[in-house]
Amino acid sequence: MIGSATKIGEVIEHTLMPITGASSFVDFVDEIEGETVNRYFQKTFSYAPEGLFFTEFKVLSLVELHAIVVAYRNSYIIKVKYTRAGADNTGTLTLNSLSIETTNVTIDNGKEYNDSNFIKFFESTNEEVELWATNVLKKIFLRGALAAYVLRGKNLIELDAGGSFNDDFNDDFDM
């Protein structure tokens, strides 16, 4: 169980594990108990390529999922908000599970990774390693960890013509 809501307006927030190797976002599947015509969740989501900069929350729908422009080398972290709504303030709404379905590409780990010692300890798409790498990237990317003269994009989605710090970081670490 992810969470439950007993009052109108109550919010369940959930962050999914990083999604890697996606070529497109296809569908979402959720399991909800207690839902009726007058007792339901309003569903919204936000996502961040590489986990750095999240988009504004949008309605969780197939149209919005399909509109995500995917760069398969990125990992995506998705946050969802399920807000209890409707006229019926009785009973409990429970979000038991949620998954995002994607079509995936086979990721070539590259010679560097395949020849490294890292291959002995984890897969290149390991979720925990992705979370660690996102944490490190945030610390390096945000002001303070590197000298101010190192150029950074305002947002990972807006890359300058010559590439960016993020591209170089991802190329160097084959992410």
- Whole-Å CA distances, 58 to 42, 81, 104, 154: 11, 10, 23, 21
The DSSP line for 15-33 is EPPPEESEEEEEEEEEEEE
| Distance from C-alpha of 64 to C-alpha of 68, rounded to nearest angstrom | 7
Type of residue at 54: F
Q: Using CB atoms within 10 Å of the CB of residue 117, give its burial: 0 to 12 exposed, 13 to 18 middle, 19+ buried.
A: exposed
pLDDT at 150: 61
Q: Using CB atoms within 10 Å of the CB of residue 22, give its burial: 0 to 12 exposed, 13 to 18 middle, 19+ buried.
A: buried
pLDDT at 160: 39
Q: Is the Cβ–Cβ distance between 56 and 46 less than 8 Å?
A: yes
pLDDT at 24: 85
| Distance from C-alpha of 109 to C-alpha of 116, rounded to nearest angstrom | 11
Low-confidence ranges of the chain (pLDDT < 50): 155-165, 168-169, 171-175
pLDDT at 159: 41
| Distance from C-alpha of 120 to C-alpha of 42, rounded to nearest angstrom | 44
Count CA within 13 A, CB hemisphere, residue 148.
0
The pLDDT tens digits of the residues spanning 116-132 come to 777 777 766 666 776 67
pLDDT at 111: 77
| Distance from C-alpha of 97 to C-alpha of 76, rounded to nearest angstrom | 19
